[in-house]
Amino acid sequence: MVWGALLRPLFLILLACMCITASLELGPGRWVPAVLEAGGIAGILVLAYINGLMAILRFFAGPVVHRLSPTGILVCSAILAGIGLYWFSFSKTATMAFVSATVFAVGVCYFWPTMLGVVSERVPKSGALGLALMGGMGMLIVGVVTAPQMGRVADGYLYDQLQSEKMEETVAAIDSAVESYPALAADEEETIRTEIMRAVERGREVLDETAAAGALPEGKTAEALRSLITNSPTNGMAQAIKTRLENVLNPADNYGGRMSFRYVAPFSIVIIIVFGIIYLRDRAAGGYRAEALTARREAAAEEPGS
What is the homologous superfamily of the domain 2-152+258-291 according to CATH? MFS general substrate transporter like domains (1.20.1250.20)
Among residues 257, 263, 269, 265, which one has the least CA distance to residue 91?
257
Contact assessment for residue 231 and residue 185, using Cβ atoms and an 8 Å cutoff:
no
CA dist., res. 18 & res. 141, Å (int): 9
Domain residue limits, the chain: 2-152+258-291, 161-252
CB atoms closer than 10 angstroms to residue 55: 11
Helix (H, G, I), strand (E, B) or coil at 233: coil
> Could you list the pLDDT tens digit for every one of the 306 residues in the chain?
677 888 899 999 999 999 999 999 998 888 888 899 988 899 899 999 999 999 999 998 888 877 888 999 999 999 999 999 999 899 889 999 999 999 999 999 999 999 999 999 999 988 899 999 999 999 999 988 888 899 899 999 999 999 998 999 999 999 999 999 999 988 888 899 999 999 999 999 999 999 999 999 998 999 999 999 999 998 888 899 999 999 999 999 999 999 999 999 999 999 999 999 999 999 998 888 888 776 555 444 445 544
